[in-house]
Amino acid sequence: MNPLTLEWIEKAEGDLATTGRELRARKLPNYDAACFHAQQTAEKYLKAALQEAGRNIPKTHSLVELLGLCLEIDKTYELLLPDLTLLDAYAVQYRYPGNAANRLEARSAYQSARVIREMIRSKLGLVS
């Protein structure tokens, strides 16, 4: 496996771990951060898939744009569209005043990130 692919995966795993910690926090959970890190998990896993396929990795946070590039590699990535659509807005939605995530949204974001993680890890031949 390409060493840069592994770096993307390590970064994605860190984001997923952060999402999980925020969901488990009993004191001052940060659901905004949980949603952001779930989005980052998906973004980095998509970029890992592109890296492993030898594709250029654009400097974008758009999960839908990254999905379009992954579909050029493997059409079955289309199955991730609902989860990617859910997470796409979390790159910026809760990072500024005026909006706040709740526990339910954060849990849903975490589940979507896990679905994306499982599919891409499987395609990369990695054991979860």
Q: Total domain count for the chain?
A: 1
* 119 domain-assigned: yes
Digit-coded pLDDT (tens) for 29-44: 999 999 999 999 999 9
What is residue 95's predicted lDDT score, i.e. its pLDDT?
Answer: 87
pLDDT at 105: 97
Q: What is the CATH number of the domain that holds 93?
A: 1.20.120.330
Tokens representing 20 are 């999980």
Which residue segment(s) compose the domain that 102 sits in?
Answer: 3-123
| Domain-embedded: residue 128 | no
128 pLDDT more than 80: no
In angstroms, the CA 28 to CA 115 distance is 26
Encode pLDDT of 43-88 as tens digits.
999 999 999 999 999 999 999 999 999 999 999 999 999 999 999 9
Task: Tell me if 63 is assigned to some domain.
Answer: yes
Give the C-alpha distances (Å, rounded to integers) separating 102 from 2, 30, 31, 67, 108: 38, 9, 6, 27, 10
Q: Which amino acid, 65?
A: E
Would you say residue 96 lies in a domain?
yes
DSSP string, 41-72: HHHHHHHHHHHHTT----S---HHHHHHHHHT
Provide the pLDDT for residue 62. 97
Q: What is the pLDDT of residue 100?
A: 96
Q: What is the pLDDT of residues 111-123, one digit of tens each?
A: 999 999 999 999 9
Residue 28: per-residue pLDDT: 96
Q: What pLDDT is recorded for position 127? A: 83
Instruction: Give the pLDDT score at 21.
Output: 98
pLDDT of residue 19: 98
| Residue 22 included in any domain | yes
| Cα–Cα nearest to 38, from 17, 24, 57 | 17
